[in-house]
Amino acid sequence: MDRESKDGGTGTPDTDGLAWELLDSAIDYSCPGFDVRRDDVRLPDGTETDYHYVDEPPAVVVLPFVAGREKEREEGEELVVIEEWRQAVGRVSRGLPAGTTEPDDDDLADAARRELTEETGYEAGTVEPLLSSEPINGVANAVHHYFVARDCTPTGEQELDFNESIRVSTAPYDDLLAQALDGSVRDGRTLLGVFAYELHGRGE
């Protein structure tokens, strides 16, 4: 039943009797990228039951701005974007580079640099945190850490996992924002990253 917290975030103590008591925990199924975990729990009313969810490492999501194309707002910034086949929805998804962390990743910014290079062949000059989120915490313990990377330059080849099919290009930031707003881009990680940058990070 030993289970280490993987979110790297902060929690709040239960003060109103909502917490479930963890009785046991085990992995029911494993596959590349994530596990399906079963928790045996006792609910606040005393009912004992089980609860299944996706158990996966934290991930990093990168907004990579191309070196030499980070100009004043009216002239437009340019991002490195990817197109990736997503089997779960049966189509190509357009959006931001992202990847899972490794067990020995002590520095999330370094993990963001690595994942950017592996997926796109670009290297970042600087990397700064933007926000962290729990995108689907009803069915998964996933935590996504967002970073803004600047002065990104193409320096090498992609180093993709065996089950990744990714095409790399660049696009004006304003175009990606417009596509996020009109529904053309539907990738949740990309939507949150672009909207958070637009609200909090742009121009800083």
Give the pLDDT confidence of 27-53 residue by residue, as tens digits: 999 998 899 999 999 999 999 999 999
Domain ranges, residue 163: 59-201
Does residue 149 share a domain with residue 124?
yes
Does residue 64 share a domain with residue 152?
yes
The yes-or-no verdict on residue 150 having pLDDT over 90 is: yes
Residue 1 belongs to some domain of the structure: no
Residue at 79: amino acid letter: L
DSSP state of 159: -
Distance CA 80, CA 75 (A): 17
Does residue 143 share a domain with residue 98?
yes
The yes-or-no verdict on residue 6 having pLDDT over 50 is: no
| Number of compact structural domains in the chain | 2
Lowest mean pLDDT across 126-135, 152-161, 178-187: 152-161
Does residue 96 share a domain with residue 39?
no
Of 135, 123, 122, residue with least CA distance to 168: 122
pLDDT band at 11 (very low <50, low <70, confident <90, very high): low
The tens digit of pLDDT for each residue in 87-104 reads 899 999 999 999 999 999
Q: What is the pTM of this model?
A: 0.87
Residue 4 belongs to some domain of the structure: no
CATH of the domain at 113: 3.90.79.10
